[in-house]
């Protein structure tokens, strides 16, 4: 091989290596869409919309994909609609806590043919309270009260009420009710209650719930209602404690 041929081969190899190096550098990063010449040095790929910050990214080191369209947020899942359009949505989580009545309570119903006591303020606290927390703006809360009661001394059906006093993270306590209970048994009888209340999209924060009982109508004689495990002279029987179940879905 003469010197001229050697020089030509050397030049060809140099040109090829230079082209390969430039090609690798050129195609190491790809940017499509808005500002096509500007790409984050940490990314291999960016596809950006006309809305600044909304883009799909592939990280150069980890290979992880980031999809930012304005709906992204902590603890969300990517969900499509009927047309296959994907958005980030809050995932549904449900937590439930059961709170038990610390002790039973006697609720006295004087003779009255018209309903009265239309709020917890004139009722009796039933030694039953619970708490729940809201962390996401989209949520459902179910408040469930279950328990037994006894009625004594009445000679005609009597009606009493349950109330919920809900204290939000800010603002005044909200009274929910009344929930009416009519006992048709006479002299000595008992029954079971199951009350449900519902909240939707409650504000983020911590809440407390207190349960109250109140008299409503009693056309017969003065009557005692024993709510939960309560027994004293004039009250019929000793029943089960009332429970409060708070279920939060977010």
Q: Are 211 and 145 in contact (CB under 8 A)?
A: yes
CA 186 to chain centre: 43
* Beta bridge partner(s), residue 78: 88
Nearest to 164 by CA among 223, 209, 111: 209
Confidence of residue 47 (pLDDT cuts 50, 70, 90): confident
Q: Where are the beta strands (DSSP E) in 184-242?
A: 188-200, 205-217, 223-227
Nearest to 200 by CA among 132, 133, 135, 137: 137
Confidence of residue 65 (pLDDT cuts 50, 70, 90): confident
For residue 20, pLDDT over 50 is answered with no
**What is the C-alpha R_g of the chain?**
35
Q: What's the whole-number mean pLDDT along residues 134-145? A: 93
pLDDT of residue 10: 45
Q: Are 207 and 171 in contact (CB under 8 A)?
A: no
If you search the block for the tokens 């089960």, which residue do you land on?
240
Average the pLDDT over each of 15-29, 72-86, 125-139, 214-228 and give the range with the smallest value. 15-29
pLDDT of residue 234: 55
End-to-end CA distance of the chain: 79
For residues 167-192, one letter each, b for 16 or more C-beta atoms within 10 angstroms of the residue's C-beta and e for the rest, the string is: bbeeeeeebbbbbebebeeeeebbbe
Domains of the chain: 3-90 (no CATH), 94-249 (2.60.120.1340)
CA 110 to chain centre: 41
The residue among 117 and 130 whose pLDDT is bigger is 130
Q: What's the whole-number mean pLDDT along residues 77-98? A: 83
Average the pLDDT over each of 82-86, 181-185, 246-250 and give the range with the smallest value. 82-86
* Beta bridge partner(s), residue 167: 208
Cut 0.85: pTM above it: no
Confidence of residue 93 (pLDDT cuts 50, 70, 90): confident
pLDDT of residue 111: 94
Structural element, H or E, at residue 48: strand 43-48
pLDDT of residue 18: 44
């Amino acid at each position: 091989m003469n010197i001229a041929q050697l020089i030509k081969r050397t030049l060809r190899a140099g040109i090829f290596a230079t082209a390969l190096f430039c090609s690798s550098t050129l195609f190491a990063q790809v940017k499509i869409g808005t500002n096509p010449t500007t790409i984050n040095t940490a990314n291999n790929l960016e596809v950006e919309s006309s809305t600044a910050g909304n883009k799909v990214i592939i990280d150069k080191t980890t290979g992880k994909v980031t999809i930012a369209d304005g709906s992204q947020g902590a603890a969300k899942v990517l969900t499509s609609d009927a047309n296959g359009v994907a958005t980030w949505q809050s995932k549904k989580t449900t937590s439930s806590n059961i709170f038990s009545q610390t002790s039973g309570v006697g609720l006295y119903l004087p003779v009255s043919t018209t309903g009265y006591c239309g709020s917890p303020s004139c009722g009796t606290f039933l030694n039953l309270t619970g708490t729940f927390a809201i962390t996401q703006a989209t949520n459902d809360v179910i408040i469930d009260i279950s328990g037994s009661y006894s009625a004594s001394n009445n000679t005609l059906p009597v009606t009493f009420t349950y109330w919920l006093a809900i204290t939000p993270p800010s603002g005044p306590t909200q009274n929910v009710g009344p929930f009416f209970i009519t006992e048709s048994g006479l002299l000595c009888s008992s029954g079971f209650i199951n009350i449900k209340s519902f909240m939707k999209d409650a504000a983020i924060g911590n809440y407390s719930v207190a349960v109250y009982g109140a008299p409503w109508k009693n056309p017969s004689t003065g009557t005692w209602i024993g709510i939960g495990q309560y027994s004293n002279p004039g009250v019929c029987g000793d029943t089960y404690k009332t429970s409060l179940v708070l279920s939060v879905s977010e």
